[in-house]
Amino acid sequence: MAIIVNPTAAEFKQMLAEKKTFLADFYATWCGPCKMLSYVLEDIAKEMGERIDIVKIDIDKEPELTEEMDITIIPGLFFIKNGEVASRYAGFLPKERLQARLEKLLGNEPPVEQAPDKSYDLIIIGGGAAGLTAAVYARRAGLKTLVLESFAPGGKLIKTFEIENWPGIKNVNGSQLAYDIYEQAMALGTTYLYEKVAALEAEGAERRVRCESGAEFTAPAVIIATGTVERLLNIPGEQEMIGRGISFCAVCDAAFYRNKHVIIVGAGNAAFEESLYLAEFASKVTILARRDVISAEQITQDKVTANPKIEVLTWRVPQEVIIENNRVAGLKVLNKQTGASETMLAKGVFPYIGADPVTDFCRDLGITNDKGYLVVKSDMSTAVPGVYGAGDVCDKVLRQVVTATNDGAIAAQSALKYLR
C-alpha cells in the first residue's frame, strides 16, 4: 500500500477519472484527531500491503478541493471505489473499524477479530487524560485492565492545540501528549476497546458494564473517567447546523474559517483561549458574553485585548442561528442593555458556555450530585464500593489536564488497594 501525500487537486481528480480505488484522507497538520488518525493509517499501510493506496490531502494546501468535496469536519475520509465515492466518514476511526471498511471496499470479508475477554480486574470507562493515566498506573501494578472509549484516545486533549501550563514544559501539543500517554498504556498491556457505555450495574461483588453494542464486561472495580460534553446554546437552528458552521472545537475546524468572521459565545477560559487560536485564521473574531463579567484568566484576557482581530461584546444573548444555503450565516442576538435585536453575520459560531458531565449511564447508582457530576472522596472513591471517579466528570474546583492525570493516578491506586 502506498501513501500518497498532498497530490494537487488536478492529480486527485485524475485518479477519479482513471477509476481508481483508494482511501482519501483530508487532514490538517494542526488537527489533533487528524494526527491520531495518521498513526492508524501508518499501521494499516504496513499490514495491508500493496492492495490499496492512501491519499492524504492537506486542506490548507487545497482549500478549493476541500470546499468542492463539502468537507466541514476533519479528518474527512472518503472511500473511493472505481473513481466513485462509495462512502465517507467524518472524524477519527480506530484501526480495526477502518481496516474492516477498507476490506469491504476491496470486496473482501473483514478479518475476524479475536473476541476480547469479558472479565477484568479493573474497567476504566473513558480514554482521556484521566482514564489513560489510570490505565498506566493499574498495569504497572499488575491489574488486568480494560479501557472503554467511544472516540479517539486522549479525549479533550486532542482538541487542544497547545498546553502552556503542563509543569516542566513551556508548551506541549495536546494530541501529541494524548498519543504518548496512550502508547505508554498500550505498551504496558492495557486492553483498549472502542465502545460506548450504556449502563453500569453494581450489584454484589462484580460491577457489570453494558455497552450500546450489546457487549458486556465485568470487574470488581471500575473507574469512571468519561469527562464532560460541551453544552449547547439550545436556540433554533443550532442542532441542525452542527458541523456546518456550529463547532465546539477551534483546533479541529479553524481552517474552515480562514479570512472569515466567526463568533464565540462565552466568557471563560475556553472561550478566550480559543478566540486567540481562531484569530490566526479568521478575519475577525467576536466574543459574545451574556453579562459584563469575564471569568477568563487575566493573562488570557490581556492577550485578547491586545489582539486587533478580536472584539468582546457584553450583554449579548444568542437567540437564533441564521441559515443560508444549509450553512451558518450568522446569529440573531438580544442586546440586554438596549432590549434591541441585533443581526450579526458570520460563517462560524463556537459555543463555549460550559459543559455537562457524561454520567447518564450511572446516575441510578446514587453517586452523582444534582448537576450530574460524580461525588468522590479524596481517594476518588464514590458511595458505591469499588467504583471510583477521575477527571472532569467529578465534582471539583479545577478541571485541567494536570488535575485529570492526578485523579487517574489516585483512582488506580485506590482501586488496587480495594482489590487487594
Per-position DSSP letters for 361-399, written without gaps between them: GGGGGT-B-TTS-B---TTSB-SSTTEEE-GGGB--S--
For residue 400, is it within any domain?
A: yes
C-alpha span between 13 and 299 (Å, rounded) = 47
Residue in 201, 134, 156, 182 with CA at minimum distance from that of residue 363: 201
pLDDT the model gives residue 92: 85
Is residue 133 predicted with pLDDT exceeding 60? Answer: yes
Domain count, the chain: 3
CATH number, position 29: 3.40.30.10
- 39 is a domain residue: yes
What lies within 8 Å, CB to CB, of 237 at 6+ separation is 320, 321, 322, 323, 328
> How far lies 20's CA from each of 25, 38, 65, 82, 247, in Å?
15, 22, 18, 5, 33
Strands 76-81, 84-90: pairing kind = antiparallel
* Percent of the chain at pLDDT exceeding 70: 99
Instruction: Please check whether residues 361 and 221 belong to one and the same domain.
Output: yes
Is 252 among the residues known to form the active site?
A: yes
Indicate which residue of 31, 34, 211, 252 is catalytic: 252
Q: What band does 288 get if pLDDT is binned at 50, 70 and 90?
A: very high
Paired residues of 149 in beta bridges: 194
Task: Say what percent of the chain tops pLDDT 90.
Answer: 71
For 95-116, what is the mean pLDDT? 82
Is the domain of 163 the same as that of 147? yes
Please give the backbone phi and psi of residue 66, each rounded to the nearest 5 degrees, phi first.
-60, -45
From the list 253, 392, 394, 407, the catalytic residue is 253
Instruction: State the average pLDDT over residues 397-417.
Output: 95
Is 128 domain-assigned?
yes
Specify if 261 maps to a domain: yes
According to the model, what pLDDT value does residue 49 have?
66
In this structure, the number of other CB atoms found within 10 A of the CB of residue 168 comes to 5
Supply 346's cell numbers: 458570520
Q: 254 and 224 in one domain? A: no
Closest CA to 261 of 353, 329, 341, 321: 329
Residue 110 lies in a domain: no
d(CA 236, CA 390): 35
Give the model's confidence band at 1: pLDDT under 50 very low, under 70 low, under 90 confident, else very high. low
With respect to residue 117, please indicate whether it lies within any of the assigned structural domains: no
* Catalytic residue flag (residue 394): no
Same domain, 261 and 189: no
Looking at residue 111, what is its pLDDT? 65
Contact of 253 with 74, CB cutoff 8 Å: yes
More confident call, 346 vs 60: 346
Do residue 214 and residue 360 come from a single domain? yes
91 and 19 housed in the same domain: yes
The grid cell for 231 is 453544552
CA distance 226 to 124: 9
Is the pLDDT assigned to residue 109 strictly greater than 90?
A: no
Lowest mean pLDDT among 44-58, 211-225, 341-355, 359-373: 44-58
Report which of residues 125 and 243 the model is more confident about.
Answer: 125
State the chain's maximal CA–CA distance in angstroms: 66
Question: Does residue 114 sit within a domain?
Answer: no
CA angle in degrees (0–180, nearest 5) for 293-299-303: 90
- Helix ranges, 141-201 (H): 174-187
Give the residue from 71, 105, 139 where a domain finishes: 105
Distances (CA, A) of 113 to 93, 95, 306: 16, 12, 54
Of 13, 4, 35, which is closest to residue 154 (Cα–Cα)?
A: 35
Q: Assess whether pLDDT exceeds 80 at residue 306.
A: yes
Domain housing 275: 239-351
Active site residue 60: no
Residue 9 reports pLDDT greater than 90: yes
Question: Which of 31, 34, 249, 394 is an active site residue?
Answer: 249
Q: 113 pLDDT band (50/70/90 cuts)?
A: low
Whether the link from the prior residue into 94 is cis, omega within 30° of 0, is no
pLDDT of residue 163: 82
**310-313/284-288 β-pairing:** parallel
* Residue 396 confidence class, pLDDT cut points 50, 70, 90: very high
In this model, does residue 389 exceed pLDDT 90?
A: yes
What number of other Cβ atoms are within 10 A of residue 291's Cβ?
A: 12
Query: For residue 380, is it within any domain?
Result: yes
- Lowest-pLDDT choice from 110-114, 216-220, 350-354: 110-114
Grouping H, G, I as helix, E, B as strand and the rest as coil, residue 135 is helix
> What is the average pLDDT score of the chain?
92
Cβ-proximal residues to 195 (8 Å cutoff; 6+ apart), any chain:
148, 149, 150, 211, 212, 213, 215
181-185 mean pLDDT: 93
96 band by pLDDT with thresholds 50, 70 and 90: confident
